[in-house]
Amino acid sequence: MATESSNASSFALAAYDGAVVIDGCAGWDDPYGDPNEVRFTSRAIAEARESGETACTLTINKAGNDPDVWDVSIRKIAEVDEMISVNSDVMLKATAVADIHRAKAEKKIAAFYHVQDTALVGSDLDRVAVLKGLGVRIMQLTYNIRNLSGDGGLEPDNAGLSRLGHATIARIEQEKLLLDLSHAGPRTTAEAIAAATRPMTISHTGCRALNDNPRSVWDSELKACADKGGVVGIYWMPFLVANRPPTSADLLRHMSHALSVCGEDHVAIGTDGLLLKTKINDEILASRKKRYEQRVAQGIAAPGEGPDVFNILVDWDTHMRFRLLAVGLAAAGWNARQIEKVLGGNLMRLYAETWGA
């Protein structure tokens, strides 16, 4: 990698405010207000604007094979619609790249809806069109365990893509939605990339060559995604490293490895975390423990998860995390062009190719 430290530092420190910053897999929480209150607090709004984030994806479905996944997900869409409507001064529901430009101009965050499992679709592929009509723009094929489309990353048989999985990918592409292969098993990932006719994403993952965890992907999968024009988002999750909380150094190591394997046009951000500082107290820890136990019972908890494990980097748990990322990448030798692409340029290109302007 060529080192242009002066240009990179200049970008990181001066041009960040002008950059498009996209988190390709995110969540939202206001840590300062009443959790039952839909309206964001003034502090949360101020920090969201100060963060520099331009767009993110919000997961709107319940994952897993429970019989209620469709109904719960439809209710979740309605809840997120309401949240965005009530907070329209800081967030907008996005369905096209033009909404990212609008959000940047209006100092808002464009939120794209993301489904992290096709179990809610099953064999009724017309539901893909229904979800598109409700605003969904990204569809993930599997979530850790087996569904009718294929095997997730925790399935020991690694059986790959089913015939229905092939048909599901074809319908996702027909509807001009973005195919996401996060959480998939290695064989499912490889076969889905081969089956796809359009670029895809692995929106939130890590480099398995650096830490052998089933939630990450091998170099062969990273390269196959990139070779087809896709974009890989690196997550800010416990799976970056074994046996301790991850730090920014671990993230930068994974991002630089992905850059070397995929090339600068195919790496992005996919934190699978929250924008604002994570709130941790006894009530939240109790809720976290309960949720972890539910995930274990469902068989969807990956190695590295735990009752007190949060999706954070311990030294970058702040709403200014993406500015810190830009500075960190600069210090690691990334040049200004590479930083701009990874912050949001690569996902802008992918989204435009998938959805249009």
350 belongs to a structural domain: no
Residue 270 structural domain: 19-319
Kindly tell me if the per-residue pLDDT of 2 is higher than 70: no
Per-residue pLDDT reduced to its tens digit, 276-333: 999 999 999 999 999 999 999 999 999 999 999 999 999 999 999 999 999 999 999 9
292 belongs to a structural domain: yes
263 belongs to a structural domain: yes
290 belongs to a structural domain: yes
219 belongs to a structural domain: yes
What pTM was computed for the model? 0.95
Whole-number Å distance between alpha carbons of 80 and 261:
36
331 belongs to a structural domain: no
334 belongs to a structural domain: no
pLDDT of residue 10: 55
105 belongs to a structural domain: yes
Per-residue pLDDT reduced to its tens digit, 57-95: 999 999 999 999 999 999 999 999 999 999 999 999 999
Per-residue pLDDT reduced to its tens digit, 323-350: 999 999 999 999 999 999 999 999 999 9
Give backbone dihedrals phi and psi of 303, rounded to 5 degrees, phi first: -55, 130
Kindly tell me if the per-residue pLDDT of 357 is higher than 80: no
Kindly tell me if the per-residue pLDDT of 3 is higher than 70: no
Per-residue pLDDT reduced to its tens digit, 133-147: 999 999 999 999 999
Q: What is the CATH number of the domain that holds 311?
A: 3.20.20.140
Kindly tell me if the per-residue pLDDT of 236 is higher than 80: yes
Whole-number Å distance between alpha carbons of 266 and 281:
38
Name the domain count of the chain.
Answer: 1
